[in-house]
Amino acid sequence: MDEGIWERKYHLALERMERDEEASRAVGDVLRRLSLRLAVLVRGDGGELDELLDRLTTELRGSPSPATVEPLLERLAEAVTRLDAAPPGAARASDTTEDALVDALRADVARLQELLGTVSARLGDMTRYLAGERDEADAGATEGHRLDAQVREEMRLLGEKTQAATDLASLQAEVDERLSVIDRHFRDFREREDARLSAYRERAERMHDRLEQLESQASSLQDSLRREHELALTDGLTGLPNRLAYDRRVADVERQVREEGGVACVGAFDIDHFKAINDTYGHAAGDAVLRIVGQTLARELDGRAFVARYGGEEFVVLFSDMGPDDAEDLARRLCATVEKLAFHASSKPVTVTMSGGLTRFTAAERAAAVFDRADRALYAAKRAGRNCCVVL
């Protein structure tokens, strides 16, 4: 009866070990998916960076180990550093955006290294834990075999003594002695099993706490990365997407137009006489104008187009899935809406207007060339008297 109870306890312990092992594998899968999403997040337009990120993604889709992933992360960090240290002669008009992208890439790679370092340490703990559990299972099996051998030996001795007994009294004495020895073997076995299962429970509880800690750390890091990513793509003054966010969005639009035959337009808008507003009423008034104009553009577009603060007093609008006629009509309404805004500075009304330039996105062009044409259209609107929109 006792042997059956302890055998069930032993099987229950093995089942718990298997559940813990499945839980550890599930955590590993979650962390690999997180790493894959981070690899997609930091992918830019650098050939070497993209190649390394593709290799990292391939490793993470399999069964990665620190020995294969950590060298790739080190090469990623070196590639980002080389990109950041490019000679002045290689600078382009979008250097400010590229610097911001490089900083974002470096920060994301550093956080990915931190995450994988944490995962590596925790997986090491789980590996040692599971190895210990296998040792415990082997030890339990060994103890069971030992008890079985002891009982069989006592039964064999009992059989020999029974055959050699000459009277009932001596036979009873031999039976009592053998049964006492067998009972002692069972008590010893039970004590050893109690101690072993108690140690197993303690280790299982410690591993459970470590798994919870790892899940909490992974969740916290993921939330932190998401918040920092959002901040990196948001203009702090207006709350609109910034130039980096525009560059990422326009890359998708360029691909859609080139590969899928989509329709899109780009509009460049600039607040008229903004320097005079700063010089006359102060930079606080200028900041207020930027905030209100930015909020007005976002409200008027209402998700029909993507708007970002491109820099200074200039805004850019991506009219995705919208032809030139509809985009022009919407662009002119934006200029008219800004003109109707009621601004006051130093208790005096201030008239604020906005000029715009609009152009169509063609499949044969890169995004930078399309924006340059929209910018030329904007300056044509300035020369035409401002507070209007010119289409090129």
| Catalytically annotated residue among 177, 313, 328, 339 | 313
Helix 2-41 to helix 168-232 angle, to the nearest 10 degrees? 10
What is the C-alpha to C-alpha distance for residues 212 and 122, in angstroms, rounded to an integer? Answer: 11
328 is catalytic: no
What is the C-alpha to C-alpha distance for residues 246 and 224, in angstroms, rounded to an integer? Answer: 22
What is the C-alpha to C-alpha distance for residues 197 and 202, in angstroms, rounded to an integer? Answer: 9
User: In the chain, which ranges are continuous DSSP H helix?
Assistant: 2-41, 47-61, 66-84, 95-164, 168-232, 243-260, 274-281, 283-301, 324-339, 367-383
How buried is residue 224: exposed, middle or buried, by Cβ count under 10 Å (0-12/13-18/19+)?
exposed
Sheet order of strands, 354-360 included = 306-311, 314-320, 264-271, 354-360, 389-391
* Helix, strand, or coil (residue 96): helix
Catalytic residue numbers read 313
